[in-house]
Amino acid sequence: MIARLGRSIRARLALWASIAMALLCLATGAALVWVGHDTAVGIRTREVISVSQRPIRWIKRNELTPVLDLPLKGVQVVAPSGRVVASTSNLVGSPRLSRTIPDPARSDKVEEVCDLPRFGGECQIMVVSRVNRPDGEWLTYAFDPSVPWYVHPAAIGIAAGLSALLVAITWFGVSRVVAKTLAPVNEITERLNAITRGEEVLRVPVPENADEVKALAEAANRMLAQMEAAMEQQRRFTSDASHDLRSPITAMRAELESAMLAPDETDWCETGGKLMAGLERLQNIVTDLLALAKLDAGAPGAFEPVDLAELVAGETTRPRSKRVITSLQPGVVVLGDRLRLARLLTNLLDNAERHADSTIIVTLRRNGEAVLEVLDDGAGISPEQREVVFRRFTRLDASRSRDAGGTGLGLPIAREIARLHHGSLKIEDSDVGARFVLRLPIRQD
């Protein structure tokens, strides 16, 4: 897909660059034609004026002949009487072609005429000159074809050829430059295809000089790293879940098989109790797995103002095997899902109950944020193990010896709930036991 995108970008850039060059060539060609046309018209006009001076000199010298040999399309000389007395051979016998005369203050006049039937409707540059003689005012009319808008067919051909050449060079150049620029994209595409086939590690090459493509590759590598971590976590999670689910099932199967080998000697009430314990463990694991699945999926909760002091007071009144001491600052209100926050607190209290020797201390205070601490008087957790306990299905040796029925999911669920509420859950230093500290943002009124 990225390769097709690269080819599409290259083709489009080359197309638009070629169109831009074509328009530039068209505009430049038009400007050159316009300038060339004006220049050619000026040259042609000066030529006609120059040639038209000859009959004026002949009039002044009385050397005018009826037929004039001049290198123009046509010339007429009109006497003061208004009669044509001399002309070029192609206009002999023709009536006066124009009645235009120069302005009183000028001796000549230049204009373009296109309505003269004698020239087949072809536009002509006409130069009218006045000659004052003792017998009156003489007029000379000199005609020569106007310069066409394209000046000359060769000019159009040259301009068209150069434009086509420039467009072709632009297409080729842009294609090469874009192809070179997108070469790292092709390498990334090949690596992604290899990753899809499972042939490579989850990384793409990062070019050195292409800043935008380099940023793309680095972003892709970050995404692939997250995917790799998620896949590894998923594999580990699946393996641990399978192991933890298999253990109670294996135990219940062994218990049933043992009972069925000697049904008459089996205490079925005792066996049923053991099976119920295994089923309860399975139920706890499945419940925790469903809770984690919902949290991982980002399932929205019913967020509302929650008074943490009231919530903690309600959760700590439930009878427990260890003494619970609370110190709760009133008025600590957060915005959250009451049920999930209750689940977080219950998990922390259950964990503390399993590891405490005799006492659990729960403290709630407001310090720019809501700070909830759950402290037990047990053996505590070493600093290097403080993050390990938040991994899914992680149960330390001390935990296994104290409580063989734990799922290893209570603390990971508690941390995910804290993150869902834009807070944090960590284990911090304490003189005795383990001190879990939950921090949540205070609800802004």
Span 78-96, pLDDT tens digits: 999 999 999 999 999 899 9
Return the exposure string of 156-175: e unless at least 16 CB atoms fall within 10 Å of the residue's CB, then b.
eeebeeebeebbeebbeebb
Domain that holds residue 16: 2-145
Q: Which two tokens stand for residue 226?
A: 């997250």
| Residues 255 and 379 occupy one common structural domain | no
Q: Where is pLDDT greater, at 331 or 294?
A: 331
Q: What band does 53 get if pLDDT is binned at 50, 70 and 90?
A: very high
| Residues 256 and 331 occupy one common structural domain | no
pLDDT at 76: 93
**180 domain residue, yes or no:** no
Q: Which of 145, 171, 199 is the last residue of a domain?
A: 145
**284 domain residue, yes or no:** yes
| Residues 134 and 93 occupy one common structural domain | yes
pLDDT at 299: 66
Q: What band does 1 get if pLDDT is binned at 50, 70 and 90?
A: very low
pLDDT at 2: 46
List phi, psi (to 5°) of 404.
-75, -10
H-assigned helices in 356-433: 397-402, 410-420
165, pLDDT greater than 70: yes
pLDDT at 397: 54
**Which long-range CB contacts under 8 A does 67-70 form with residues at least 24 apart?**
67/92, 70/142
pLDDT at 17: 67
Query: By percentage, how much of the chain surpasses pLDDT 70?
Result: 86
Q: Which of 262, 296, 330 is the last residue of a domain?
A: 296
Encode pLDDT of 345-378 as tens digits: 999 998 999 889 999 999 999 989 999 999 999 9
Return the exposure string of 34-57: e unless at least 16 CB atoms fall within 10 Å of the residue's CB, then b.
eebbeebeeeebebbeebbebbbe
Average pLDDT rounded to a whole number, residues 393-416: 68
38, pLDDT greater than 80: yes
Average pLDDT rounded to a whole number, residues 187-212: 75
- The answer to which of 101-115, 172-186, 273-287 has the lowest mean pLDDT is 172-186
| Residues 390 and 284 occupy one common structural domain | no
- The answer to which of 93-97, 172-176, 214-218 has the lowest mean pLDDT is 172-176
**53 domain residue, yes or no:** yes
pLDDT at 141: 95
Average pLDDT rounded to a whole number, residues 44-67: 91
pLDDT at 71: 92
Average pLDDT rounded to a whole number, residues 174-189: 73
410, pLDDT greater than 90: no
**87 domain residue, yes or no:** yes
Instruction: Kindly report the CATH number assigned to the domain that includes residue 419.
Output: 3.30.565.10
- The answer to which of 87-91, 110-114, 180-184 has the lowest mean pLDDT is 180-184
| Residues 138 and 14 occupy one common structural domain | yes
Q: What band does 400 get if pLDDT is binned at 50, 70 and 90?
A: very low
**196 domain residue, yes or no:** no
241, pLDDT greater than 70: no
Please tell me the pTM assigned to this model. 0.49
| Residues 273 and 351 occupy one common structural domain | no
C-beta separation of 78 from 138 below 8 A: yes
pLDDT at 395: 65
Return the exposure string of 128-139: e unless at least 16 CB atoms fall within 10 Å of the residue's CB, then b.
bbbbeeeeeebb
Encode pLDDT of 242-268 as tens digits: 766 777 788 788 888 888 888 888 888
pLDDT at 401: 47
**70 domain residue, yes or no:** yes
**340 domain residue, yes or no:** yes
C-beta separation of 428 from 370 below 8 A: no
| Residues 104 and 86 occupy one common structural domain | yes
pLDDT at 362: 95
Q: Which of 111, 145, 179 is the last residue of a domain?
A: 145
- The answer to which of 229-238, 323-332, 421-430 has the lowest mean pLDDT is 229-238
| Residues 261 and 368 occupy one common structural domain | no
Sign for the CA dihedral angle at 206, 207, 210, 211 comes to positive
Q: Where is pLDDT greater, at 401 or 348?
A: 348
Mean pLDDT of the chain: 82
| Residues 249 and 341 occupy one common structural domain | no
CA distance 331 to 308: 8
| Residues 268 and 386 occupy one common structural domain | no
Q: Which CA distances in Å does 108 have to 53, 77, 112, 131?
A: 11, 14, 14, 9
Burial (CB count within 10 angstroms: exposed 0-12, middle 13-18, buried 19+), residue 82: exposed
| Residues 382 and 286 occupy one common structural domain | no
pLDDT at 287: 78
| Residues 386 and 322 occupy one common structural domain | yes
Count how many domains the chain has: 3
Q: Where is pLDDT greater, at 151 or 138?
A: 138
Q: Give 173-197 as a 3 state SS string.
A: HHHHHHHHHCHHHHHHHHHHHHHHC
Instruction: Kindly report the CATH number assigned to the domain that includes residue 24.
Output: 3.30.450.20
**115 domain residue, yes or no:** yes
Position of tokens 């394209």?
150
CA distance 127 to 302: 96
